[in-house]
Amino acid sequence: MYACTAPPLSESPRTSYNARMPNAHDAPQVCIASHHGSFAELLADAEFRAAAERPDGACLVEFRVDAFADRSEAKLREALVAFTPQRCVVTYRSPEEGGRDANASDETRLAFAKTAVQAQAAFVDLEVATFARLGDRARGVFADRKSTRLIASFHDFEAVPVYDRLHALRKQGEALGADVVKIAVQPKAIHDASPLLDLLYATDFAKPLMALAMGEAGFWSRVLGPRFPQPAPFTFARGEGAPGTAPGQPIWRELLELYRFRRIGPATPVYGVIGSPIAHSLSPAMHNAALAALNLDGVFLPFRVDGEPAAFAREIAPKLGVRGLSVTIPHKETVIAAAAEIDPLARQIGAVNTLVARGGGWFATNTDAHAAAGSFEEAAGGEGALNGKTVLVLGAGGAARAVAFGIKARGAEVWLHNRTESRAEKLAQDVGARCVKREEISRQPKALLGVINTTSVGMHPNVDATPLAASEIPQGSLVFDTVYNPLRTRLLELAEGRGCRTLNGLKMFVRQGAEQFRLFTGRPAPVEVMEQVVLQALAKRG
Ligand code: NAP
């Protein structure tokens, strides 16, 4: 039916650092889409002006002419000169494909396109449908272009058309003489974007494809464009605090600084975190900072995965070049189905938080267990400190399983308490622990070395909640709250008041990420950098 060569799952090249250092001219650019209501507003926007004037040429600015109340060809010429035409993308979108000028005629829009071509704007965007309607008149305008490149575009804000339709649109765009074909579609879930991914690997095309999947489920498409066989010359972004012109547009600075967009190329290893929700995950900030600190080629993305995570790992991830995945709520158990090989402890735990591409399949492991148990053991006095000691674990979810197995492996006797007793009983049976009731905790059993909270109680935004009242916290014990947002939970405040030593969830979070980083890249993680980035991100959230 169609020619398409999506790659198999491949491992990270262990020493592939600094593999691609493109020069300023061939590196992909970030195009900041204007959100302004007029040319005047755009011209007065210092952020856009500064971005366009960057000496490294990293940024383009898109003029969305259809949204400008003061639009005229003279104003367009003036703005092109002000921003430098070679840094400008000119778009006068048709109302049928999301343009804001309901009365825009094809002829008017073509006249603006002609002005942009004459002024040698870097790119002019015209819809495939418009181009087809205008026929030779449009051909004539673009036949005369000098440095300007024509983008033939298609937008569907509702869904992802089937592969054959996308293929036909790309063919049509190329036949019209476009230099770049742009296809923007709206997946409801990450799996919906499969036809778009297949189109990116189709082998019967000559021109670059800018394939954009809008919304959180399509975030990958905003970042990974330069990784596909016929890479698009730029990606779209929004200004700081701006709404953007399409759902899911990242902030331009994030693309350049966090995701190091200009360094992404066909061989760049991709890593990521899968979960739902995922937008607030700290893992992308932490892992990208670590990759940058070691000057490694690689990028780490948040993947919003709803539904079947194992299908994502098996079918979608290889096409995205993914070689390592962090796994978070709610996928830690179900993703195991994707694994060809499982670490024995992770198998016992019944939950994994890490997938690593190995030998053509996924190796699954759980770095939470050692991170939690190691942090707690260290705070308790170091190696052997848990041996023969009793520790109360609050919770019976994924984190509780990792913690319970982790401390058990270090010799602790585990007591369990959970809101839903049946879950605690199941975990107690699996790990070899004892279930305790709330009344028993209140009686302040002398045997306890410490308490580990693995419930989500006290986590942002319910920061006043605590899994134990002050009177239930064993005096003088070691209290570890795995929650890290906020770092100082109500439980830890109360514990301090009871003369307890306390430990927050930061060390565990950084440790589990550091071990993932080592498994992903084969290099020891820059732990201090990772911790600093997480602290900064948490401080920013307030
Ligand atoms: P999970 O599988 O959904 O388990 C949630 C646990 O919290 C269950 O035991 C649940 O009890 C309990 N819980 C939730 N709301 C409660 C409430 N109102 N009152 C009493 N108990 C309640 O989630 P998870 O993966 O185990 O993660 C739990 C927490 O661990 C996260 O919120 C996170 O803060 C922390 N964590 C930290 C790290 C780290 O690196 N520091 C890593 C992973 C997780 P039921 O069984 O009764 O529902």
Same domain, 358 and 420: no
Structure tokens at 26: 């061939």
Which among 155, 287, 389, 417 is annotated as catalytic? 155
**The predicted structure's pLDDT at residue 327:** 97
**Domain final position from 238, 268, 298:** 268
Query: Which residue has the least CA distance to atom 39 on ligand 1?
Result: 509
Same domain, 47 and 160: yes
Same domain, 169 and 202: yes
Domain-embedded: residue 112:
yes
Note whether 404 and 414 are within 8 A (CB).
Answer: yes
Q: Which of 85, 95, 160, 71 is nearest to 116 (CA)?
A: 85
Residues of the chain under the 50 pLDDT cut: 1, 13-25
Task: Report the distance separating Cα 80 and Cα 345, nearest Å.
Answer: 61
Task: Give the C-alpha distances (Å, rounded to integers) separating 351 from 304, 345, 400, 417.
Answer: 19, 9, 10, 19
User: DSSP of 364-417, one letter per residue?
Assistant: EE-HHHHHHHHHHHHHHTSTTTTTT-EEEEE--SHHHHHHHHHHHHTT-EEEEE
Q: What is the dihedral of CA 239, 243, 244, 245, to 10 degrees?
A: -150
- Beta strands (DSSP E) in 135-252 are 149-155, 180-185, 209-213, 234-237
Task: Report the distance separating Cα 529 and Cα 293, nearest Å.
Answer: 7
**The predicted structure's pLDDT at residue 246:** 81
Task: Report the distance separating Cα 66 and Cα 93, nearest Å.
Answer: 6
**Domain final position from 268, 299, 317:** 268
Same domain, 154 and 300: no
Ligand 1 atom having least distance to the Cα of 396: 9
Domain-embedded: residue 118:
yes
Same domain, 205 and 84: yes
Task: Report the distance separating Cα 236 and Cα 214, nearest Å.
Answer: 11
* Separation of CA 445 and ligand 1 centre (Å): 24
User: Which residue range forms the structural domain that includes residue 290?
Assistant: 275-366+510-541
Cis omega before residue 233 (within 30°)? no
Whether 125 is catalytic:
no
Q: Which of 224, 206, 372 is nearest to 303 (CA)?
A: 224
**Domain final position from 223, 240, 268:** 268
Domain-embedded: residue 381:
yes
Task: Report the distance separating Cα 35 and Cα 247, nearest Å.
Answer: 13
**The predicted structure's pLDDT at residue 394:** 98
Domain-embedded: residue 17:
no
Question: pLDDT tens across 188-244, in order?
Answer: 999 999 999 999 999 999 999 999 999 999 999 999 999 999 999 999 999 998 887
Domain-embedded: residue 3:
no
Q: What angle do CA 131, 154, 76 make, to 5 degrees?
A: 65
Q: What angle do CA 385, 391, 394 make, to 5 degrees?
A: 140
Helix (H, G, I), strand (E, B) or coil at 303: strand
Whether 182 is catalytic:
yes
**The predicted structure's pLDDT at residue 196:** 97
Domain-embedded: residue 256:
yes
Pocket of ligand 1 (CB under 6 A): 329, 368, 395-400, 418-420, 423, 454-457, 459, 482-484, 505, 508-509, 512
Q: Beta partners for 453?
A: 394, 481
Ligand 1 atom having least distance to the Cα of 509: 40
User: DSSP of 310-340, one letter per residue?
Assistant: HHIIIIIGGGGTEEEEEE-TT-TTGGGGGEE
Q: Which of 524, 504, 414 is nearest to 458 (CA)?
A: 504
Same domain, 514 and 440: no
* Separation of CA 542 and ligand 1 centre (Å): 22
Q: What is the CATH number of the domain that holds 376?
A: 3.40.50.720
Query: Which residue has the least CA distance to atom 4 on ligand 1?
Result: 397
Q: What is the CATH number of the domain that holds 39?
A: 3.20.20.70
Same domain, 209 and 87: yes
**The predicted structure's pLDDT at residue 18:** 36
Which among 287, 331, 332, 389 is annotated as catalytic? 332
Helix (H, G, I), strand (E, B) or coil at 198: helix
Domain-embedded: residue 19:
no
Strand order in the sheet with 322-327: 299-304, 270-275, 322-327, 354-358, 361-365, 339-342
Domain-embedded: residue 75:
yes
Q: CB within 8 A of 452, min separation 6: which ones?
A: 372, 376, 391, 392, 393, 394, 403, 407, 480, 481, 482
Q: Which of 453, 430, 432, 429 is nearest to 441 (CA)?
A: 453
User: What are φ and ψ of residue 127, in 5° steps?
Assistant: -65, 145
Q: How far is CA 423 from the centre of its chain?
A: 32
Q: What is the largest CA-CA distance in the chain?
A: 88
* Separation of CA 457 and ligand 1 centre (Å): 7
Note whether 30 and 255 are within 8 A (CB).
Answer: yes
Q: What is the CATH number of the domain that holds 314?
A: 3.40.50.10860
How many structural domains is the chain composed of?
3
Q: What angle do CA 49, 55, 222 make, to 5 degrees?
A: 70
DSSP percent split of the chain into helix, strand, coil, nearest 5 = 40, 20, 40
Same domain, 54 and 69: yes
Same domain, 283 and 221: no
Whether 368 is catalytic:
yes
Note whether 487 and 258 are within 8 A (CB).
Answer: no
Query: Which residue has the least CA distance to atom 46 on ligand 1?
Result: 420
Same domain, 61 and 210: yes
Same domain, 436 and 353: no
Note whether 38 and 69 are within 8 A (CB).
Answer: yes
Q: CB within 8 A of 139, min separation 6: which ones?
A: 176, 177
Same domain, 43 and 189: yes
Q: Which of 334, 426, 455, 459 to mutate to test the pocket of ligand 1 (most atoms within 8 A of CB)?
A: 455
**The predicted structure's pLDDT at residue 3:** 61
